[in-house]
Structure 1
Amino acid sequence: MSTFFKQIYRYTRPRAYRHNENLWPYVKIARAPSGEITSLRYRGESVKIQKISSLQRRHTGNILITATGPSINDMDFSRFPAMPVMGVNGAYALRDKINFQFYVIVDMTFIDKKIEMVQGVISDPAITLFTTLHGVVKIINAFTTSKIQCKVVIIEDACYKIYERKVIPVQILDTYRNAKDVSICPGHKHIAFSNDIRSGIFDAGTVVYWALQIAAFMGFQTVYIAGLDMNNFAQPRFYENETNKLPCFLDEKFASLIEPAFRHASIVLKKKGVTVKNLSKHSALGNDIFEKVDFYDVH
Structure 2
Amino acid sequence: MLRSRPLTKGLRYLYRYTRPRAYRHNETLWPFVKVRRDAQGRLAGCDLSGVRGPATMALDQLPRAIGGDAHLILSGPSVAQIDYAQCRMRTVMGVNGSIALRARHPALRFDYYAMLDAGFVKKRRDLVAEVLAQDLVLFATPEVYRWICLLFDRRTVRCRIALFEEVHQRAQRPRARPEELEAELAADPELVLFDARHPIHAHGFSLNAARGLFGGGTVAYTSLQLLAWLGAESVYLHGLDLTATAGPRFYESADAQLPTALDRQFAGHIQPAFRQAGKLLGARGIKVYNLSLLSRLGDEVFEKRHWSCLLDPSAQAQTSATR
TM-score, normalised relative to structure 1: 0.90
The one-letter amino acid of 1:136's match is Y
Q: Percent identity?
A: 34
The equivalent of 1:250 in structure 2 is 262
Instruction: Judge conservation of contact 2:241–2:296 (CA < 8 Å) in 1.
Output: yes
The equivalent of 1:260 in structure 2 is 272
Rounded Cα–Cα distance in structure 2 between residues aligned with 1:169 and 1:292? 34
The equivalent of 1:69 in structure 2 is 76
What does 1:1-299 align with in structure 2 at a 5 Å threshold? 13-43=19-49, 45=52, 47-55=54-62, 57-96=64-103, 97=105, 98-124=108-134, 126-167=135-176, 172-185=181-194, 190-231=202-243, 233=245, 235-298=247-310, 299=312
Q: How far has the Cα of 1:67 moved from its partner? A: 0.7
Q: How far has the Cα of 1:293 moved from its partner? A: 1.1
CA gap of 1:27–1:35, structure 2 versus 1, over 3 A, is same
Q: Deviations over 1:30-86 (max 9, x none)?
A: 212444322332216475112201225332111110011111111101111131110
The equivalent of 2:317 in structure 1 is none
Instruction: Judge conservation of contact 2:114–2:219 (CA < 8 Å) in 1.
Output: yes
Q: How far has the Cα of 1:170 moved from its partner? A: 7.6
CA gap of 1:174–1:77, structure 2 versus 1, over 3 A, is same
Gaps of 5+ in 1: none
Instruction: Judge conservation of contact 2:181–2:196 (CA < 8 Å) in 1.
Output: no
The one-letter amino acid of 2:131's match is V
Instruction: Judge conservation of contact 1:182–1:193 (CA < 8 Å) in 2.
Output: yes
Rounded Cα–Cα distance in structure 1 between residues aligned with 2:13 and 2:255? 38
The one-letter amino acid of 2:121's match is I
Matched residue SS, 1:78: coil
Rounded Cα–Cα distance in structure 2 between residues aligned with 1:244 and 1:169? 39
Rounded Cα–Cα distance in structure 2 between residues aligned with 1:95 and 1:36? 34
Instruction: Judge conservation of contact 1:40–1:49 (CA < 8 Å) in 2.
Output: yes
Q: How far has the Cα of 1:163 moved from its partner? A: 1.1
CA gap of 1:164–1:187, structure 2 versus 1, over 3 A, is closer
Matched residue SS, 1:95: helix
TM-score, normalised relative to structure 2: 0.84
Matched residue SS, 2:57: coil
The one-letter amino acid of 1:85's match is V
Gaps of 5+ in 2: 313-323
Rounded Cα–Cα distance in structure 1 between residues aligned with 2:100 and 2:215? 24
Rounded Cα–Cα distance in structure 1 between residues aligned with 2:34 and 2:260? 34
The equivalent of 2:318 in structure 1 is none
CA gap of 1:35–1:180, structure 2 versus 1, over 3 A, is farther
Rounded Cα–Cα distance in structure 1 between residues aligned with 2:13 and 2:197? 37
**What count of residue pairs does the alignment treat as equivalent?**
298
